[in-house]
Structure 1
């Protein structure tokens, strides 16, 4: 049995970077919704924060959907 260590390290590196990016993007979405809520309480609309949060969540859904597509295909 021969293991291709370079390919294994490459897969590990890409997986790590994508996971950290996806968690960071989701965190930005949660933070945007929190900012929208605090802005609404102080009398503002918070439309920009809500739009940014929804965009972050949409990118998360797109990344997960693409990952599932890669696994199935």
Structure 2
């Protein structure tokens, strides 16, 4: 049996990179929700920036997860 170590290394690097990116984007979404709560407690300002940040980040995470499921499930191809 022959292993293509270069391809295995590339897959590992991309997997780790995407995992870290999704975790960071999700954390930024949580930060956006925290900003909404902070503005709500102070009774001033607009909550739109925090909601937009959270919505965009969570949508990006959901898109990555959906794409991963698409790649795994052969019936979707």
So what's the TM-score if we normalise by structure 1? 0.94
- Structure 1 stretches of 4+ with a deviation exceeding 3 A read none
Q: 1:2-58 CA deviation, whole Å, 9 max, x = no partner? A: 111001000000001000000000000000000111012112231111111111000
5+ residue gaps, structure 2, are: none
The residue number in structure 1 matching 2:61 is 60
- Work out the number of aligned pairs and report it: 73
So what's the TM-score if we normalise by structure 2? 0.89
Over aligned residues, Cα RMSD in angstroms? 0.9
5+ residue gaps, structure 1, are: none
